[in-house]
Amino acid sequence: MSAFKTLDDLDVAGKTVLVRGDLNVPVKNGTVTDTTRLDRLAPTLLELADKGAKVVVMSHFGRPKGQRNLDYSLEPVVPALSTALGGKPVAFATDCIGEAAEQAVAALQPGGFLVLENLRFYPDEEKNDAGFAEKLAALGDIYVNDAFATAHRAHASTEAIARVLPAAAGRLMQAELEALTNALESPQRPVAAVVGGAKISTKLDLLGNMVSRVNMLILGGGMANTFLYASGIDVGGSLCEKDMADAARAIMETAKNAGCEIVLPSDAVIAGKLEAGVETATVPSNAVPSDKMILDVGPGSIVDVNAKLDGCKTIVWNGPLGAFETAPFDVATTAVAQHAAELTKAGKVLSVAGGGDTVAALDHAGVIDEFSYVSTAGGAFLEWLEGKDLPGVAALKS
């Protein structure tokens, strides 16, 4: 973590601090419906304000395609951010650069908060344009990036600006990087990766990187069907990417050479279709009828997986093990997640999870607050698991 500065390294009293936050939250009929990202950003903003900084928050919101489109204005997010900050007033600037932004910043008092209008109203934001970054930088003295969720994108507000102003990681970015470093860069071993989800094709790079870093790769969801098929097992009418069989076999070979054990389901919960209340059966993974599909990992596999997790020190989780949105195909995901949470609470493992479906699945299992760290950053979390350099993180180190 010593590679870049944190809030501990900054003297912010009387300074204007530009904070790249993630205010890209769901809004329905002008009201924020999920405040998780705002709640996670709040500690950084409050700490800066307590230290006497003028706090200016910038963010994207949706995809306005480089045009000023008030359907994508950040203004409706301001009241919810104020609530997340304990009811403290938050001002709003109708632009993110230029006269309107400059006047709003000039009116800000130490300890005060201001939100700038959507960065993506300008095409130069997503082009990582140096001139645009300089216009943003002109509004402040110090830059803090607290938006790990956008760290995989080289945009003006995440990458170019860090080359213009003194730059540091906010508390959320710091926590995210420390958790991921402890889970993958220098983990306590053995490390188990639990990887699920529908398709192997979307997680090829992730799987390829994982097998060289972890001791055990536990597979579930639709992607496990593709690995079963690649191993010569008929998966009936299950979701299966048959054209990815060679890729699956290559991953299995890499894992074997790296000493990484791949764990596939030994039994499965099957049904004729995916809908609530449908008749189900549990069969060995190699006995799925042609007119049935695998929709969850079976009870024998749950016992097996939980026993394997008992022997681990670190768990990295991405993706559900079954079609968890539809009962009863949520049983495996819930059971394994609850077991991982119990191991975490007992101090036996460090558990890190992330990705959109994963967050929803852990929430469904009731354990989202019981893992060591749950990342709300979808794409950035996946690219980290793939072993890629994240521009927004690299920019803080330079």
Q: Are 146 and 230 within one domain?
A: no
Domain residues for 199? Answer: 187-385
What SS3 state is found at 209? helix
Could you tell me if residue 342 is inside a domain? yes
The yes-or-no verdict on residue 210 having pLDDT over 50 is: yes
51 and 165 both lie in a single domain: yes
Indicate whether 375 belongs to any domain: yes
Contact in structure between 237 and 293 (CB atoms under 8 Å): yes
Which pLDDT tens digit goes with each residue over 127-155? 999 999 999 999 999 999 999 889 889 99
Q: Which of 37, 135, 213, 292 is catalytic?
A: 37
Do both 235 and 112 map to the same domain?
Answer: no
Q: Do 297 and 252 have their domain in common? A: yes
What local confidence, expressed as pLDDT, does residue 398 receive? 65
166 and 202 share a domain? no
Please report, for the domain that includes residue 216, its CATH number. 3.40.50.1260
Query: Are residues 344 and 204 part of one domain?
Result: yes
- 228 and 160, same structural domain? no
Of 88, 199, 313, 388, the active-site residue reads 199
Decide if 60 is inside a domain.
yes
Query: Does the residue 178 lie in any domain?
Result: no
Q: Indicate if 215 and 362 belong to the same structural domain.
A: yes
pLDDT at residue 1, rounded to an integer: 41
- Identify any residues that bridge with 216 across adjacent strands, giving them in sequence order: 192, 261
Quick one: average pLDDT of 212-226?
A: 96
Q: Which pTM value belongs to this model?
A: 0.83
Closest to 159 measured CA to CA, from 198, 135, 127: 127
Exactly one of 62, 356, 378, 387 is catalytic; name it.
356
Of 138, 171, 204, the last residue of a domain is 171
Average pLDDT, the chain: 95
Q: DSSP secondary-structure letter at 6? A: B
**Tokens describing residue 256:** 């074997």
Query: Can you say how many angstroms the Cα of residue 342 is from the centroid of all Cα atoms in its chain?
Result: 22
Task: Please check whether residue 395 lies inside any domain of the structure.
Answer: no
Average pLDDT over residues 154-177: 95
* 365: its two tokens: 């299992």
The strand ranges marked E within 5-53 are 16-20, 27-28, 31-32
195 alpha-carbon distance from chain centroid: 14
- pLDDT for 188: 93
Say what the pLDDT of residue 92 is: 99
pLDDT band, residue 39 (cuts 50/70/90): very high
pLDDT digit string (tens) for 322-338? 999 999 999 999 999 99
Number of H helices, E strands in the chain: 14, 17
Let me know if 37 is a catalytic residue.
Answer: yes
The last residue of a domain, from among 109, 144, 171: 171
Band the pLDDT of 357: cuts 50, 70, 90.
confident
Q: Do the domain assignments include residue 393?
A: no
Whether the per-residue pLDDT at 312 is higher than 50: the answer is yes
What is the count of structural domains for the chain?
2
Together in a domain, 346 and 213: yes
CB atoms within 10 A of CB 297: 32
* 217 and 261 housed in the same domain: yes
Structure tokens given for 63: 């995809």
Residue ranges in the chain assigned as alpha helix (H): 36-50, 78-84, 98-107, 123-126, 130-137, 171-180, 204-210, 221-230, 245-258, 299-310, 331-345, 356-364, 378-385, 391-397
Domain for residue 363, yes or no?
A: yes
Domain presence at residue 394: no
Shared domain for 31 and 77, answered yes or no, is yes
Within this chain, do residues 229 and 273 fall inside the same structural domain, yes or no? yes
Rg (CA), the chain: 23
> Could you confirm whether 379 is annotated as catalytic?
yes
Single residue among 145, 171, 197 that ends a domain in this structure: 171
